[in-house]
Chains A and B, each alone.
Chain A
Amino acid sequence: AQSVTQLDSQVPVFEEAPVELRCNYSSSVSVYLFWYVQYPNQGLQLLLKYLSGSTLVKGINGFEAEFNKSQTSFHLRKPSVHISDTAEYFCAVSDLEGAQKLVFGQGTRLTINP
């Protein structure tokens, strides 16, 4: 079974500052890794995903994440945040076969202050 730990439940940052949202996972098998964003009262939108290949993955809205197999981490970063990035961010893993069910972390609420 897989599990995901997001180390920070809330992250406040100032506008135009860099941000890192941390994610660690546990799995006995190879997994796919994802970051989703959820704006208030909306569904989840995929930011980026790691399936294979380069460990540095670039996504939408200027976000990127780096897969580190030895540390079982998949931290999300953005060099300069905007007010519009205020949202809940979820890290998730899935196995590689079958219906590829997602297991989510508890989420990190990113708040951007002017």
Chain B
Amino acid sequence: DAMVIQNPRYQVTQFGKPVTLSCSQTLNHNVMYWYQQKSSQAPKLLFHYYDKDFNNEADTPDNFQSRRPNTSFCFLDIRSPGLGDAAMYLCATSRGTGLSYEQYFGPGTRLTVT
């Protein structure tokens, strides 16, 4: 089945130690999004790629970066994780155009910072 895959599902990192989260898709969608969801809160968009074009949200900290080496893969890099970065990180994809618009979400990666 076509889907959005996130690895790992659970990630533990130390304060200040760089960490990379991975997302892949078999949907061949143009747009890939990264959301941060803290406990009992709504998902908050960090940034997205429309094809190769990177679009950062205005309030996304510089500590968060992303790479999209090809259509299928997108990575979230946290350069120096702080305790406040502990959250569920959700990857989503969409075609980006047309009335069939819908975002498809992966299962998420839960990040713990010790």
Contacts and interface: CB of A to CB of B under 8 A. Distances in A.
**Main SS class of interface, B:** strand
A51 interface: yes
Interface string A17-41: 0000000000000001000100001
Given A42-B107, A99-B50, A49 B41 contact: no
Chain B contact-residue range equals: 20 to 34
Given A99-B48, A99-B96, A42 B108 contact: yes
Interface in A66-110: 90, 94, 98-102, 104-107
Given A41-B110, A42-B107, A99-B55, A51 B43 contact: no
B102 A43 contact: no
A107 B42 contact: yes
Nearest to B55: A99
B99 A52 contact: yes
B96 A100 contact: yes
Contacts of B101: 32, 49, 51, 94, 100
B42 A106 contact: yes
